[in-house]
Amino acid sequence: MNSRTRQHGFTLVEVVIVVAVLALLAGVVVPMFGTVSRDAKIARITQLYDQMRNSVQRHYADTSALAIELSGQTGAANHRLSMNPGTVGWKGPYIDHPINLSDNPFGGYCELHQQMTNVNNLGPGFDLDGDGTNEMVNAGQMLCLSNVPIAEAQEINAKLDTGVAGAWDASGRVKYVGGVLVLFLMDAPN
């Protein structure tokens, strides 16, 4: 074999090495993107928690009323933070758009409720201090997100319920039942 013919193309061994290196890189890079995406979804929910808690407090200060925002519904009556349903004292919008399905990064619903009994299978109340009894019972403001995987729900709980005793999924501001993450935002003043 002279130097002229040696110039043509890659040998099979070279091709195999390149493919192996690319496969190795893909194996490293793809999970990295998956982790970033997962962390971004968790961060999105903790941001939503802060934003919605601030919004329901401002809405209550103006109107002395609790609000609902339902991702699967239309109309001002179902979007009381973003649209004025005729509530006395309303000075909103308190959020920049009506809550919709894109507000849940895990693809489920996103609903702001004012009665625990409206949330299926979650039972009344929030055990805010982890002592085994519910400090907040029934009326209040809580954000419900479906389709949240348990591992992600546990991470969100760890961020929002630091130092809370009791079962992670039943105590504090974060509850989790059957794939539904429930975030306590505001108690109804008695």
Binding site for Ca ion (CB under 5 A): 157, 161, 168, 171-172, 174
Q: Of the two residues 79 and 113, which places its CB atom closer to Ca ion in the complex?
A: 113
SS3 127: strand
Question: SS3 sequence, the chain?
Answer: CCHHHHCCCCCHHHHHHHHHHHHHHHHHHHHHHHHHHHHHHHHHHHHHHHHHHHHHHHHHHHHCCCCCEECCCCCHHHECCCCCCCCCCCCCCCCCCCCCHHHCCCCCCEEEEEEHHHCCCCCCCEECCCCCCCCECCEEEEEEECCCCHHHHHHHHHHHCCCCCCCCCCECCEEEECCEEEEEEEECCC
How far apart are CB 171 and Ca ion at their closest, in Å?
Answer: 5
Q: Of the two residues 75 and 123, which places its CB atom closer to Ca ion in the complex?
A: 123
How far apart are CB 24 and Ca ion at their closest, in Å?
Answer: 40
Which DSSP symbol is given to 181?
Answer: E
How far apart are CB 89 and Ca ion at their closest, in Å?
Answer: 33
Q: Which residue is nearest to Ca ion (CB)?
A: 172
How far apart are CB 182 and Ca ion at their closest, in Å?
Answer: 9
Which DSSP symbol is given to 110?
Answer: E
How far apart are CB 87 and Ca ion at their closest, in Å?
Answer: 31
Q: Of the two residues 67 and 142, which places its CB atom closer to Ca ion in the complex?
A: 142
How far apart are CB 161 and Ca ion at their closest, in Å?
Answer: 4
Say whether the peptide bond before residue 31 is cis (omega within 30 degrees of 0): no
Q: Of the two residues 27 and 163, which places its CB atom closer to Ca ion in the complex?
A: 163
Q: Of the two residues 65 and 170, which places its CB atom closer to Ca ion in the complex?
A: 170
Q: Of the two residues 30 and 158, which places its CB atom closer to Ca ion in the complex?
A: 158
Q: What stretches of 31-90 adopt beta strand conformation (E)?
A: 69-70
